Structure 1
Amino acid sequence: MAKKQVKEIVEELLRDFLAENGYELYNVEFIKEGRDWFLRVYVDKLQNKDESWISTEDCEKVSRFLSEKLDETDPIPQNYYLEVSSPGLDRALLKEEHYIRFTGEHVEVKLYEPVDGRKRIEGILEGLKDETVLVTDEQNKTWKLPLRQIAKTKLAVVF
């Protein structure tokens, strides 16, 4: 089964449940590792819901619901392992909404091609404007990085 189809199935099965419980679907991965398939579902609390992060109990609640729905409908023909978790502290920013939500946070950006000799920029996410990500580094330089040039952006954990 195509990975995109699996993602759409999971989104459909979870849509109402997540909304009713104050969660959001952050990402879905359906990947093969060795001989095994893994359905990884990343959930978070709705932004602005409150200041807390999603808990283990929240993930368990989503996992039980989704597992039951997948067992009932059996939409995925091959065997797989279901994993439900938070996106983590160093979560990837995958959608434009993520860039908006995490404006003001410390990020690490990896680029496909170097910009001014650098393929990695770390700093404060200043926002997203016209499909361009703005990041201010420690030298107070603001980088304007087109989304199409970004290989990966993730929150940077600073100690």
Structure 2
Amino acid sequence: MALQQTVEQTVTGLGYDLVEIERSAGGLLRITIDLPWSPEAASQTPVYVTVEDCEKVTRQLQFALEVEDVDYRRLEVSSPGLDRPLRNEQDFVRFAGEIIDITLKSPMGAAAGGLVSANRKKFRGTLERVESAEVPAQWQIVWRDEPAVKPGQKISKKRVPAPLQVLGFTLDELREARLAPIVDFKGRASSQEAPSA
């Protein structure tokens, strides 16, 4: 049985979602798990993967990988963390409204229309779903190209904010998408568009 299949069967059998499998130098096998999500559960208080969850999956995986004779030196099972990868349509539905980082497979080129660099492939913005009669489900990110604010710098209230920019995309056009790892130690900030990456 292939590694992907063995890990996926074990993780889902224990009631978790498999987010990522990564093999690293030195024989490290890194498995990222998350709790299952459904639109109905979205309104409830979020629940996160605990150390006990990771221990439970680790014990079961060690047994399954030994039975399947998978070669590895060290096994690491963890939660997705702040920069969780978005891999499928359900991930995008789940995290609509969040700030994400995306990397396109190819640069913007002529489609940029002079609004952004034609060579640009990386963007950071708020994820939104767009539904229309022509396109059943498409995604877009919305951002402002604001200059970075230095610590302690005062911002004039008269300063005109940079215009909002929008980039529409399909999942096939993405090389990678992740939640933006934004930490606010002062508590929840008001929802504002993040500057581009």
Alpha-carbon separation, structure 2, partners of 1:28 and 1:79: 13
The change in CA–CA distance for 1:81 and 1:143 in structure 2 (over 3 A counts) is: same
Residue 100 of structure 1 contacts residue 128 of structure 1 at CA under 8 Å; is this kept in 2?
no
The TM-score with structure 2 as length reference comes to 0.65
Partner of 1:123: 125
2:77 aligns with one of 77, 84, 87 = 84
| Greater percentage in strand | 1
The answer to whether 1:155 aligns with 2:179 is: yes
Question: Deviation above 6 Å: which 4+ runs of structure 1?
Answer: none
Give the paired residue count: 147
Mind listing any 5+ residue stretches in structure 2 that lack a counterpart? 113-117, 145-162, 185-197
Specify which structure has the bigger relative contact order, considering alpha-carbon pairs within 8 angstroms and separated by 6 or more residues. Answer: 2
Shift in Å, 1:99: 1.0
The change in CA–CA distance for 1:77 and 1:113 in structure 2 (over 3 A counts) is: closer
Alpha-carbon separation, structure 2, partners of 1:40 and 1:131: 32
Alpha-carbon separation, structure 2, partners of 1:24 and 1:78: 23
The TM-score with structure 1 as length reference comes to 0.79
The answer to whether 1:140 aligns with 2:164 is: yes
Shift in Å, 1:113: 2.0
The change in CA–CA distance for 1:7 and 1:50 in structure 2 (over 3 A counts) is: farther
Residue 135 of structure 1 contacts residue 144 of structure 1 at CA under 8 Å; is this kept in 2?
yes
1:38 aligns with one of 6, 24, 28 = 28
| Greater percentage in helix | 1
RMSD of the alignment, in Å? 2.3
The change in CA–CA distance for 1:154 and 1:17 in structure 2 (over 3 A counts) is: same
Mind listing any 5+ residue stretches in structure 1 that lack a counterpart? none
Three-state SS of the structure 1 residue aligned to 2:90 is helix
